[in-house]
Amino acid sequence: MKTLLLTLLAIPALVGCQDSFSIQAKIARSPKTFCNPVNLDYRFMVIEGGEGIREAADPVVVSFKDTYYLFASKSSGYWYLDDFRDWKHVLITDSVLPIEDYAPGLFVHGGYLYYVGSTHGKGMLYRSAAPEKGEWEAVKEIWSYWDPAFYVEGDNLYMYYGCSPQDPIYAQVLDLNTLEAKTEVIACFNSEKEIHGWERTGELNELSRRPYIEGSWMTAHQGKYYLQYAAPGTEWKSYADGVYVGTSPVGPFTYMENSPVSYKPTGFIGGAGHGCIFTAGSENYWKAATNSISVRHMFERRVSFYPSGFDKDGYLFTNTYLGDYPMFLPGGKEQMAGEYQPGWMLLSYGKKVTASSSLDGYPVENAVDEDARTAWVARSNRDTEWLQVDLQRLSSIQAIQVNFDEYGASQKGVVPGVYQSYSIYASADGENWSLVVDYSTKKTDTPHDYIEFEEPFKARYIKLQNQAYTVSENLSLRDLRVFGNGLGSKPGAVNDFMVERDEADPCKARLAWEAVPDAQGYIVRYGIAGDKLYNNFQVMGENTLEIGSLNSGVDYYFTIDTYNENGITQTFQIKECR
């Protein structure tokens, strides 16, 4: 998208009104940030009952010949780039690859990128020396099973697989050159939901049926081998990854007690399971993970990236703290200094919002409720439809994310001519408006569009004006999210809180605290030590929290941060819970 330098309409000076001034904005030519979920042209489902529903899941990111490739289930191809700014989609048909198979498995060897899909048994292994051109050749049939994942070391190709509520995660060693099996199949581990609360099914890990254990991925680090796996199921916000660690790629493996190691049960979009660990830059680890929307179909899903890594004691972790707020792009110079977020806060949550029209059951308030599972739906898709947010006070705006919904859509697969074009205006007084984003002639499909500005600008009102919307007959938005910094004070700290472990079920705990004035929300951080508070719950509108995802027999430590549009306040109080 070319940079737009907009010379904006000067606002006439009003005597005695300090909120009226000219607004100027410039869309960043080389943005330094992105915002989850990743803004891909997510394909529509092709299965019966999936019309008009987008999905992508089970992501694998690989670096091949200085280019990053992103493969995801049910995407009619894959994406590639070299700077994490502009993903280009390569359309692949079934005559080239079995691209409709779930959970793609990939590895790099000898100047080729190898691919196999998820199967019930044998699957054809393909390879490409130029995947950006969509050129692939068949190599050999191998036993790929469900959710295959590969790790290369020496002349060995280690294959991991498994996707079942009964069976374990398996491993087998193949000869990298002949692709023949060198070992028997090895059972690595299975669910222990009785003592691993996060493996329990349900949105809050509250159900009793067995989870799916699936989505394995191997990462080696400093002589140890971290075999990751997903549970309890892709349709829940509780979808997460745990890890077992060993001194050999085939074990034996020991459960890492800080699991889950990739977990995001709250926020705008939840879920952080079944993905991969990849590196960007020199030693910057990232997690590509599956998010759950799962409203119109259980496989209505998206893809997100989160910073990841290993601490000094060898514990794997994923940083999902405000994980759907703007973050610095993978591999950027900021990460060399240990920075992952620019500190831009959400300005639009719960603010006064108006619109040109609203369909019954889909009110305009849904567009600022910080929930990807709800939507505002207009009564048409005409260029007369608009949405306006009052941020209540003058704020410094750094970025805007426009999350479109697909209400009323009926497309299947990759469909030409699907796009969203719009304009965004800003105002200090609600009467005099300036154009800050001119996408009025845009003809690309960007369901989670993210706009970063070169410099912040000050405004109180943001208005999205529809120009053309070809997804369906009704313009619909999950959320219009405005990021930056308020010009007020951060909230106070949580002075004290109560945390209590459930005696009958130590996988559960309950927290309560006094509400803090001017807090937009709270972030409960916890972990197995005071310096390992890697997991978190984002709490809005409540001052209590019940957690059901702990590991029995493990002591935990908790703390609670507060935040609002002006920033985050951390407390130094950490409480142990045995």
Domains of the chain: 5-30+345-486 (2.60.120.260), 43-330 (2.115.10.20), 497-577 (2.60.40.10)
**Which amino acid is residue 521, in one-letter code?**
G
User: What stretch of H or E contains 545?
Assistant: strand 544-547
- Kindly calculate the radius of gyration of the chain based on its CA atoms and give it in whole angstroms: 24
Predicted TM-score (pTM) of this structure: 0.94
Q: At 56, phi and psi to the nearest 5?
A: -160, 140
Burial of 260 (0-12, 13-18, 19+ CB in 10 A): buried
Structure tokens at 170: 């398996």
Work out whether strand 352-355 and strand 240-246 pair parallel, antiparallel, or are unpaired: unpaired
- The CB density around residue 187, as the number of other CB atoms within 10 Å, is 12
Residue whose C-alpha is closest to residue 121's, from 98, 100, 148, 94 = 148
pLDDT at 281: 78
Furthest CA-CA distance within the chain: 83
User: What stretch of H or E contains 334?
Assistant: helix 333-336
- Beta partners for 538? 523
DSSP letter, residue 335: H
Per-residue pLDDT of the chain (578 residues; tens, 9 = 90+): 433 333 333 333 322 333 456 899 999 999 999 999 999 999 999 998 999 999 999 999 999 999 999 999 999 999 999 989 999 999 999 999 999 899 999 999 999 999 999 988 899 999 999 999 999 999 999 998 999 999 999 999 999 999 999 999 999 999 999 999 999 999 999 999 999 999 999 999 999 999 999 999 999 999 999 999 999 999 999 999 999 999 999 999 999 999 999 999 999 999 999 999 999 977 799 999 999 999 999 999 999 999 999 999 999 999 999 999 999 999 887 876 778 999 999 999 999 999 999 999 999 999 999 999 999 999 999 999 999 999 999 999 999 999 999 999 999 999 999 999 999 999 999 999 999 999 999 999 999 999 999 999 999 999 999 999 999 999 999 999 999 999 999 999 999 999 999 999 999 999 999 999 999 999 999 999 999 999 999 999 999 999 999 999 999 999 999 999 999 999 989 999 99
- What percent of the chain stands above pLDDT 70? 96
